[in-house]
Amino acid sequence: MSKKIPILGFAVAALLFVLCGSVEAQQRGEIFRIGFLDPSNASGSAVVVDVFRQELSKLGWIEGKNITIEYRFAELKPERVAELAAELVRLKVDLIVTSGNPPALEAKKATSTIPIVMVNVGDPLGLGLVASLARPGGNVTGISSLADELNTKRLEILKDAIPKLDRVGLLRGSSYNPGVELQLKELRVAASALKVILEEIKTQFDPQSLETAFKTAKQKQVKAIMTTSTRNFFAERKQIVELATKHRLPGIYSRKEYVDEGGLMCYGPDYDDQYHKAAHYVDKILKGAKPADLPVQQATKFEFVINLNTAKQIGLTIPPSVLARADRVIR
């Protein structure tokens, strides 16, 4: 028996050496597959996708070299989000990045094991995506955009910018969206406190429906316009701000890109910063961290931008006190 022990020990050691070597080799040559789930379309999401990819690249993750990204866009059709989430799970991706509330919710329904990094989610705790912000506890983590609270702030800014404001048109999607319902709950309370009538106008996201929605807003004699904070409205931002200018309606929006397209004002988180942070979550998870242990971050950088060129076009004079609060004024 004494002669067999060294032989057995040698065999076990040799086997471990081979296994370790193969694992290292696999890791060196492994290409991780990332799913990217977005409710809008490729053109509307190009800005944030570029930010995300560039930050991944800085962290050493290069498409075609050590990662591939499976992009899935619902093309502004909410009913497709669940189907696309299930498709990414069937592909056995290593991780899913989601933009907005519905994609995060549908991805969580589709898998309890594949890590999910959420971006642009208003209230992940209220939506049941995480057990707590400090310790998410499941397979979901990421960044909260604080959309619910910020809509209230936007309404306050509108009231300050248009002192006689008494009626605001709020564009919202026609499909049920739990995240939007949370936004509406906050906005209705804020509107009542500010003595503003909130005219909720349901719409699809195609050009004809948006045109009809603005005509409805004018018929209801609103004096300003807002949208709920969703990726679908963001994808159609160019047409939305053009319609607002055409109908001479002051508008406030959730992101600076609306103002870049000619929108009057925006107040919201720095979404570039959110997608930068999303890339860092991806980096940590692909290197072995668990979503359950990575705290959800809340937006910390905010932007208030005013486009005075648009104000002149629609015949609006913005009070100096409001201009003084802006981070950037376009003249």
pLDDT for 29 equals 64
In terms of domains, do 223 and 321 share one? yes
Q: What integer pLDDT is reported at residue 317 of this predicted model?
A: 96
Rg (CA), the chain: 24
pLDDT number for residue 49? 95
User: Do strands 265-269 and 302-307 pair parallel, antiparallel, or not at all (unpaired)?
Assistant: antiparallel
pLDDT at 23: 38
pLDDT in tens, 222-256: 999 999 988 889 989 999 999 999 999 999 999 99
Q: Are residues 95 and 200 in the same domain?
A: no
| Tokens 């990662």 found at | 67
What whole-number percentage of the chain has pLDDT above 90? 76
Does residue 193 sit in the same domain as residue 246? yes
Asked whether residue 94 falls in the same domain as residue 206, the answer is no
**Rounded Cα–Cα distance for residues 294 and 297 (Å):** 9
Q: Is 44 left (phi over 0), alpha (psi -120 to 50) or beta?
A: alpha
Give the range of the structural domain holding residue 34, as residue numbers without chain letter: 30-145+270-300
- pLDDT one-digit tens code per residue, 60-105: 999 999 999 999 999 989 899 999 999 999 999 999 999 999 999 9
Residues 237 and 164 both lie in one domain: yes
H-assigned helices in 220-307: 231-235, 237-246, 256-260, 271-286
pLDDT value at position 21? 37
Is residue 317 helix, strand or coil? coil
Confidence of residue 13 (pLDDT cuts 50, 70, 90): very low
- Domain match, 182 and 119 both: no
pTM equals: 0.80
Could you write out the DSSP letters of every residue in 270-290? Answer: -HHHHHHHHHHHHHHHHTT--
pLDDT in tens, 316-331: 999 999 999 999 999 9
**Structural domain total, the chain:** 2
Tens-digit pLDDT profile for residues 107-116: 999 999 999 9
Q: Same structural domain for residues 309 and 324?
A: yes
